[in-house]
Amino acid sequence: MSKKIESVCGLLRLSLGWVFLWAFIDKLWGLGFATTSAKSWLSGGSPTLGFLKFGTHGPFASFYQGIAGNSVVDWLFMLGLLALGLALILGIGIKIASYVGTVLLLLMWSAALPPANNPFLDEHIIYILILIGLASANAGQYLGFGRWWSTTGLVKKHPFLQ
């Protein structure tokens, strides 16, 4: 792969990683972007309640509204954002992060069908395509710790962790 494409893959991975890590940080501390400090997770707020209860629509809305604010769902969502953001930023576990991220994004996409500005395609689907591309390109190898990570005994024993 050319150095330019490697750099683009690395920068794309880092950028998408920051999207997920920022969502975690803002919901945890309530920095006033998507989440106010009064509704932050550390202040006792639920990171899933607002959107799942009031922002869902479409064929799966009643399912999502039924799990809104559930502490297990909150923990899974927040851990998913954190793990996905860190994996992408560090360049380790890109393949498994891409699979988990695809599931998370499909769930987020299905919570509001059809999307507001397009009958099918929105940023969740674009992010899924990027995740698949990053995994296919072994993007953790560029501008990250992926080369080192792939040489560890753990990854050699369990290649799906690459």
Domain with 133, as residue range(s), is 3-161
| The predicted structure's pLDDT at residue 84 | 97
Q: How would you write the pLDDT of the chain (162 residues) with one tens digit per residue?
A: 788 999 999 999 999 999 999 999 999 999 999 999 999 999 999 999 999 999 999 999 999 999 999 999 999 999 999 999 999 999 999 999 999 999 999 999 999 999 988 888 999 999 999 999 999 999 999 999 999 999 999 999 998 888
The residues, any chain, with a CB within 8 Å of residue 84's CB and separated by 6 or more, are: 17, 20, 97, 100, 101, 104
* pTM: predicted TM-score of the whole model, two decimal places: 0.93
How far apart are alpha carbons 120 and 6 in whole angstroms? Answer: 30
Domains in the chain: how many in total?
1
